[in-house]
Amino acid sequence: MSQQTEDKGVNLPDPAEMAKTYAEVAQRASRIITQYMEKKAKDGVEAPADELGVAKAFMDLSARLMANPYKLAQTQMNMMWDYFSLWQGSMMKMMGMPGAAPVAAPKKGDNRFKDEEWEQHFLFDFMKQSYLIAARHIHDTVADTDGLDDATQQKVNFFTRQYIDALSPSNFAMTNPEVFRETVKSHGQNLIKGLNNLLHDVEAGDGQLRIRMTDTSAFEMGKNVATTPGKVIFQNELFQLIQYDPKTPDQYKKPFLIVPPWINKYYILDLREKNSLVNWATSQGHTTFIMSWVNPDEKLAQKSFENYLLEGSLEAINQVCAHTGEDSVNLAGYCLGGTLTMTTLAYMTAKKDKRANSATFFTTMLDFSEPGELGVFLDEGAVAGLEKKMAERGFLEGSEMAGTFNMLRANDLIWSFVVNNYLMGKDPFPFDLLYWNSDSTRMPAAMHSFYLRNMYLANKLKEPGGITLGGVKIDLSKVKTPCYFISTIEDHIAPWKSTYMGARLPSGPTKFVLGGSGHIAGIVNPPVANKYGYWTNDATDGNLPESPEDFLAGATQNAGSWWTHWDKWVTSLPGGSAKVPARQPDAGALKVIEAAPGSYVKFRLDTQKKD
């Protein structure tokens, strides 16, 4: 028997290796189940809460659908005709006859169906098209339901899409041709390895599934990510301040300070040398500083948005000016860091503090009237639920925030890894961007509650005097600092039309630029890549049109990266081209604490063992 097997060229799996894998799976599964049951018995089992109001939303949907049975019957009839056409075409394909055009085809960029057998094999093609037909009709039925309010409509649309994505035939072993081939080839070892990977991820998540997106062991902070040389020159409870080593013999006189979001780690702007914004800016002659926010625990539960302004962004400005001896800086804020930056400018304006020479905003929302799909997670019930969790721990757990963002792009950030890790049985590929994406951070309870309630829910930031911080009524309309807004056309976190409305709030000279791609790729877009391009509308500088549609209608598309466009803008401002001898981090007024990237950024939640 073994000779016949060898003659046929079939390589059976090593029995010893199989036994070892089975034993590891059994032991891990037993341990996880035991720990989970013990934990539940200790904590008490509570009925699942519906903080997002999903059940009510779908009850409303059902009532509206049943109220118009004729429309529902018409939809079912249309779907039946699509299936009839698909059956007819599939039979022709099975018999080798040239078939008609597909009834349903994946959208461009849908990587779920990239394997050639989805197209060539009639059975897999039938399953693919059958799924796409059902998905289209289900989605259209939900989206076209009359009588639902906007919030309910958005919820049923979003969670219907989650349901549709989850049921894709690409997510199941027997209906995914690539997984099917691997299962036959490896005699099912891929599924056993995949189960082991699944149990590993559940174990690492302390009973909750934490899908590994990359091999985190392949990266080391300061070695192959966050590599730009520099020094930490200041720190307090909230952040470390990094100054980067100069790369030119002289530098622009105005220092450049970046305020990143504290929802994520700063090194998205310093992944590798070739795509690092801080490395590029330093290479252009800017004395570049960046804030590295702390990953807070329960000790910082009462740190508020006001603390992040007074002890964070404003303190960073204080220290950069003290260290360099300059009287003003060029600021840049990314996403939530941009929201804080504009709030800081309004605070400084009220205090007649003129130390902001300019401000740049990467994908920043100031007007939250149209928050996009994030609005699904941000109504009164959802925020109250988050506040209850934060009250117990003192912070919002980083994995909860990360899970929300991943759901916005579930096929790319969830299901593709389910297929790779658990069905194909492969280890995740080392990828620096996904290493950063999995490096989640916590949110202090007081700060996050204020941010969600006053900005997302009540949208008070855009109202003059809508919020008060440090005894100052915040009024964005009084900010006259020259501003540069860069947003991205495919942004699913800070939709560009919303960021555009915010760009119209300050009263100083404002330039709005629309980049290609999305929230990350559109910002981390170095000139050397020569990708995506960007739109400008020079006729509107300083006086933006009322609507984003009007801006885009008169805009010109430019090739390359917005980075070079921004550099010309910031250095063309009054005094912007003046230079001084290169500034070394250890030659300023502040003492060096440690080398970049510093200790704050090195703390990762996914490497910490929970009690």
Q: What residues are labeled active site? A: 335
* Residue given tokens 């540069």 in the structure block: 484
> How open is the CA angle 506-511-512, to the nearest 5 degrees?
95
Residue 430 DSSP SS3: coil
Token readout for 494 is 């800070």
DSSP readout, 22-73?
HHHHHHHHHHHHHHHHHHHHHH---PPP-TT-HHHHHHHHHHHHHT-HHHHH
Residue 6 CB coordination number (10 Å):
11
Find, among 388, 378, 284, 288, the residue nearest to 331 by Cα: 288
C-alpha torsion angle, residues 490, 412, 434, 449 (rounded to 10): 70
Q: Which residues contact 73 (CB under 8 A, 6 or more apart)?
A: none
| Burial class, 144, CB count within 10 angstroms (exposed 0-12 / middle 13-18 / buried 19+) | exposed
Cα 293 from chain centroid (whole Å): 17
Q: What are phi and psi of 536, to 5 degrees?
A: -130, 155
For residue 601, the number of C-alpha atoms closer than 13 Å in the C-beta half-sphere is 29
Residue 352 DSSP SS3: coil
| Cα–Cα distance for residue pair 247/244, rounded to 1 Å | 9
Find, among 258, 255, 279, 500, the residue nearest to 372 by Cα: 500
| Cα–Cα distance for residue pair 285/279, rounded to 1 Å | 10
**Distance between start and end Cα atoms, the chain:** 53
| Cα–Cα distance for residue pair 3/368, rounded to 1 Å | 71
Q: Which residues contact 284 (CB under 8 A, 6 or more apart)?
A: 248, 567
Q: What are phi and psi of 100, to 5 degrees?
A: -80, 175
DSSP readout, 227-257?
-S-EEEEEE-SSEEEEEEPP-SSEEESS-EE
| Cα–Cα distance for residue pair 214/216, rounded to 1 Å | 6
Q: What are phi and psi of 303, to 5 degrees?
A: -65, 125
DSSP readout, 478-507?
G--S-EEEEEETT-SSS-HHHHHHHHTSS-
